[in-house]
Each structure stands twice: as C-alpha cells, then as structure tokens.
Amino acid sequence: MLNNPAKFYESWPAEMHAMKAAAPDIGKSFGPFFQSLMKPGALAVKEKELIALGIGIALRCEPCIYAHVEKCFKAGATPEQIMEVAGVAVMMQGGPAYTYAPLVARAVEYWQNASAAA
C-alpha cells in the first residue's frame, strides 16, 4: 500500500467493513467517538482534520495519512495547507516523519486529480 493512495482508497472501505464484522464493538464505539470530536466546535472541521493529519504523519500511520488527506480536502483545505502541515509534522517528529511526507504529496496529487476529473 505504501505510496499508493489509489489502492488505499479502493481497498479501505472493504477492509473497514471486514473489521467491523469481525469486531463490531470497535466500530460501534469508535465511530460515534470520532464523529463527536470531529464536528465543528472551537475549531473548524478543517482545522481538526489538519491536526489529525499532522499527528498521523508524526505517528507514521499510513492509513491515517491517506484518510485525513481525503478529509482535509473535503473540509476545504488547500494542497498548500496540507503540505505545510506535513512540514510542521516533520519539524516536530524528525526523520521518521520526513519519510512519510511523500505519502502526503501522493495523496494530495490523487485528490487534485479526482477534483479535476469531477
């Protein structure tokens, strides 16, 4: 899956469905928790998604990166904002996060192409 956002976005829904079928309590618990925290509040959804992306990069979580780049775009973030978050994550986490910044760039490119095709 590394460096392949198209494959991730294609396979992830089925993978999540399989996980929810195998362990329904995880989905039942995490879904509402996620939704309650990611709704507008003192921070806009876009800001929350950019934060989540930065944390995903710092933690070197490939599914988190791809999922939150998508959510950042859907919340109105620009490619420049998304890549700036990648830079801040690298600054905070160092070399390991740096190796994951290309995933962000590829996911940004994927969503730019998807937006252009729509």
Give the pLDDT band (50/70/90) at residue 1.
Answer: low
Query: Of 49, 27, 25, 28, which is closest to residue 37 (Cα–Cα)?
Result: 49
Q: What range defines the domain where residue 106 resides?
A: 5-117
pLDDT per residue as tens digits for the range 8-47: 899 999 999 999 999 999 989 998 999 999 999 999 999 9
Query: Of 60, 63, 67, which is closest to residue 99 (Cα–Cα)?
Result: 60
Q: What is the CATH number of the domain that holds 103?
A: 1.20.1290.10
Give the pLDDT band (50/70/90) at residue 2.
Answer: low
Query: Of 51, 80, 88, 89, which is closest to residue 68 (Cα–Cα)?
Result: 51
Q: Which pTM was predicted?
A: 0.87
Q: Share the mean pLDDT of the chain.
A: 93
Non-local (6+) Cβ contacts of 83 within 8 A are 104, 105, 108
Domains of the chain: total = 1
